[in-house]
Amino acid sequence: MNIPRAEVMNYFAETYRQEYDDLGVVGVDAILDRGRTWDLAPVLKSGGAIVFPHVHIADCGPYVAATVHACLDSGADQVLAIGVLHAATDEMDAAKTRATQGVTLYEAEPLRGVYGEGLPEAIECWKRDHGLYGFRRLLLHEAERRGVMPPKLIERYPFLTGPNPETLPGIEELESMARDSVLVSTADHCHHGIGYGDSPEDTLYFDEAGMREIHNRIETGLHLLDAGRCAEYIQHCVEVVKSDWRDAGPVVHHLRGPLGSNLIDMVPSDFSNSIYASPKPTWAAGALVLLERA
């Protein structure tokens, strides 16, 4: 099914908003309480980072909540959130394909850069991107629940980072802000199944064996990034796990590296019953990943 990219992005933005609205205050409070399963503030205090997923809130909500608690418990005045900029236009998608296939250099692509509030807007779709929606909403809700002022939240969206994040236009601003912020990011580290282009004979269901295999594939990619092998990591994202962290991941490691990745929990999220209307299995893996200073 060839669905316009803008329509897909609008669908997810509206779906995620509705999922949170449907929970109501009691439901959101329950998710925040479940986030207390993990105490992650020490990771942020020691200069590491936390990566939370943005699959369905019913599945990944506690991971997002755990990250919110870590930010508030750290006592930080400022949070720098490195978002995923999903390709919302054919032009963006074509640029990613060209660069990944080596048709052009990343540095030659005119859309390459960092986007967000107050920055040049060659791309404006970051304003509607759903990746940080849940974190933004839970952070405000939990601060109100605690009766405290929320930390300043700065959202930045790198696009077409490539294997050399130090050359990304706008990286100097991120380096400066990172020195005064705790750092978090979001990623869905694996999109798998028929709806994501896998052949029926190669698909895995999210049973115990399938989850174990996907877990291993994700860790393989994360360890490439830990080792500074950015080009190989990007190819792994594209060819093996279809991760959307291919731009944000190298940036986070540049800002805080060297880092060691620790995938501490993972949940499947079914996307067959969505705008894709795809046969099962069509799912994403939502992983909670700690990036600790090596």
Q: What is the mean pLDDT of residues 42-69?
A: 97
Cβ atoms within 10 Å of 152's Cβ, excluding its own: 12
Instruction: Return the pLDDT at 2.
Output: 74
Instruction: Return the pLDDT at 5.
Output: 86
| Token code pair at residue 223 | 């360890």
Distance CA 1, CA 154 (A): 36
Distance CA 242, CA 288 (A): 17
Instruction: Return the pLDDT at 1.
Output: 57
Percent of the residues in the chain that have a pLDDT greater than 90, as a whole number: 91
Q: How would residue 187 be classed by pLDDT, with cut points 50, 70 and 90? A: very high
Asked if 184 and 81 count as a contact pair (C-beta separation under 8 A), the reply is: yes
Q: What is the pLDDT of residues 194-219, one digit of tens each?
A: 999 999 999 999 999 999 999 999 99
Distance CA 160, CA 100 (A): 9
Global pTM reads 0.96
Q: What is the pLDDT of residues 242-286, one digit of tens each?
A: 999 999 999 999 999 899 999 999 999 999 988 888 899 999 999
Please give the sequence-ordered ranges of beta strands (E in DSSP) within the chain, or none if there are none: 49-52, 78-82, 113-115, 152-159, 182-186, 190-193, 259-270, 282-293
What domains can be seen in the chain, in order of their start residue? 5-293 (3.40.830)
Q: How would residue 21 be classed by pLDDT, with cut points 50, 70 and 90? A: very high
Query: Mean pLDDT over all residues of the chain?
Result: 96
Q: How would residue 294 be classed by pLDDT, with cut points 50, 70 and 90? A: confident
Q: What is the pLDDT of residues 100-113, one digit of tens each?
A: 999 999 999 999 99
Instruction: Return the pLDDT at 141.
Output: 98
Q: What is the pLDDT of residues 125-167, one digit of tens each?
A: 999 999 999 999 999 999 999 999 999 999 999 999 999 999 9
